[in-house]
Structure 1
Amino acid sequence: MKDDNRDSHDNHDNDLVERIYQDLRNGIVQETIKPDQKLSETTLSRSYNCSRTPIREAFKRLQYEGLLLTIPKSGTYVRKETPVQLVEIEQVRTYLEKLAFRLAIKTITPRELAEQAERVEKMKHLLDQPTFSPREFSEVHFAYHRGLIEASRNDLLCRTFDGLNLRYSNLFQEGAGTSMDVVRTSNREHALILEALKAGDCALGEDLIETHLWKHKKIRNKYPVDL
């Protein structure tokens, strides 16, 4: 009976840590919790009616993902990426997608190709609407890029991609603060990348991905770095 009670208590603690972790992660990604914002263990423990231990466990997971930063004798803060770090993330993402394309040529299924084509058409449809929704477009835009990554059949590549997206989700906010001409050009590039994938043209696909992810980004104008 004691073992059963202990197991039940452990499960409750694990569930609580998971809930705190998910709540904080969603808040950081959606920016309801702002970059550089200090997180208080005391305040959070009161909010969740728990000790500080589950809060600290959730903090550890978020620190591992690069979302939080703990400064000795100061506290725990939401990490704010520097301009150089943002450039580094975009560089790594570019090479990840080029690798994914190379692998996906051999592994992508007809169904996955059809799903990618549907996403391109969905983005085109959203661009043709009288009122453009950056959030809805970004959801499909992310699904397109995540679809290419998944088609690589490389779990480590997928996890690395997801980690980068968590640290800088705004990379996928295509359309927010961007001219519509640039967004339309971006979606034409999506279609060209898909055609290169269907044709099995690795060199063309990698060139298109580099252009798509790197050359048009506003970040390149502010922080020029050669690939």
Structure 2
Amino acid sequence: MATAKSTKTGTTKRAADVVEKVYKQVKEMAVEYRFRPGERVNEVELAQRFNVSRTPVRQALSRLVHEEFVTFVPNRGFFAREITPEDVRQIYEYRAIIEVGGFNLACERATPEQIAALERDWMERSGEGQSSDIMGEADESFHMDIAQMANNPYITNALRDVNAKLRFFRQIDLENPARCKNTYNEHAAVIAGLRNADPAGAEILRRHIVMSSEHAIEVTKEGLARIFFETSRK
């Protein structure tokens, strides 16, 4: 009986590992908009791609429904998330609320060593001539590091979820040389605010994050054009 129980436990763990692996792969596809907005997600194709049955694919997609990367329509299946300029603007607003709260707590809780490491890591990762992909990763890491200084896992988890939803658009935004230059200046001001525990740093951070309606339209249009152009070539 012990052997049978051990075998069953091992089988269950392997099945869970398969679901987790498929989930991560499909989520990466959703984050990078390799599914067109509104496109029906083909479970059979995904199962063939990952060499698994449809069961772990369905389980992975169900998790992504709760995370709002895909939607489910009864009797029709799973569909890639839609996106509009207003969606992008509102997600950036939500991100600002999370990060400003995290910044205020970090002012109380961050150590001088953590702040020095934040500045050093940002400068090392965002050197001159970096691609927008690298800049996007460096920028995301910078903001996550501040959130982690708040020592509140709910803040870091919420920001991690928001970052995934915005990653595609963040990288497009940072292709703009003026935006990139502003990012350096504003990050320096945020670091100074942390060092001095200055509440004014929170407002600098908020303005740094929040998109105007006009800019949200511009970035979303560019993003959608790329999504449909890239998928049309496959």
- Report TM bin, short chain: 0.7 to 0.9
| Paired amino acid for 2:108 | K
Is 1:143 equivalent to 2:145 in the alignment? no
User: Pairwise CA RMSD of aligned residues?
Assistant: 2.3
Are the counterparts in 1 of residues 172 and 219 from structure 2 also a CA contact under 8 Å? no
> TM-score, normalised on structure 1?
0.86
Alignment match, 2:228: none
d(CA) in 2 for partners of 1:211, 1:8: 51
Give ranges in structure 2 of 5+ residues lacking alignment.
221-234
Are the counterparts in 2 of residues 120 and 191 from structure 1 also a CA contact under 8 Å? no
Is 1:8 equivalent to 2:10 in the alignment? yes
Corresponding residue to 2:178 among 174, 178, 181: 181
d(CA) in 1 for partners of 2:29, 2:136: 18
Shift of 1:220: 7.2
SS at match of 2:60: helix
Q: How many residues align?
A: 217
| Paired amino acid for 1:164 | V
Alignment match, 1:107: 109
* Structure 1 stretch displaced more, 57-66 or 30-39: 30-39
Is 1:73 equivalent to 2:71 in the alignment? no
Shift of 1:176: 4.2
CA deviation string 1:179-201 (max 9, x = no partner)? x1231122101000110110011
1:150-165 paired onto structure 2 within 5 Å: 150-165=148-163
Instruction: Name the CA shift for 1:177/1:49 in 2 (closer, same or farther; >3 Å).
Output: closer
Shift of 1:37: 2.9
| Paired amino acid for 1:167 | K
Shift of 1:221: 7.2
Instruction: Name the CA shift for 1:53/1:174 in 2 (closer, same or farther; >3 Å).
Output: closer
Are the counterparts in 1 of residues 33 and 168 from structure 2 also a CA contact under 8 Å? no
| Paired amino acid for 1:198 | R
Give ranges in structure 1 of 5+ residues lacking alignment.
none
Shift of 1:170: 2.8
d(CA) in 1 for partners of 2:37, 2:211: 26
Shift of 1:167: 1.9
1:89-108 paired onto structure 2 within 5 Å: 89-108=91-110
> TM-score, normalised on structure 2?
0.83
Shift of 1:51: 3.3
Alignment match, 1:63: 65
Alignment match, 2:197: 200
Corresponding residue to 2:33 among 31, 55, 64: 31
SS at match of 2:88: helix
Instruction: Name the CA shift for 1:16/1:181 in 2 (closer, same or farther; >3 Å).
Output: same
Shift of 1:123: 5.8
Alignment match, 2:23: 21
Instruction: Name the CA shift for 1:67/1:146 in 2 (closer, same or farther; >3 Å).
Output: same
d(CA) in 1 for partners of 2:135, 2:97: 24
Q: Among all aligned residue pairs of Structure 1 and Structure 2, give the percentage whose two residues are the same amino acid.
A: 21
Instruction: Name the CA shift for 1:24/1:222 in 2 (closer, same or farther; >3 Å).
Output: closer
d(CA) in 2 for partners of 1:182, 1:173: 11
Are the counterparts in 2 of residues 98 and 209 from structure 1 also a CA contact under 8 Å? yes
* Structure 1 stretch displaced more, 206-215 or 13-22: 206-215
| Paired amino acid for 1:214 | V
Alignment match, 1:211: 207
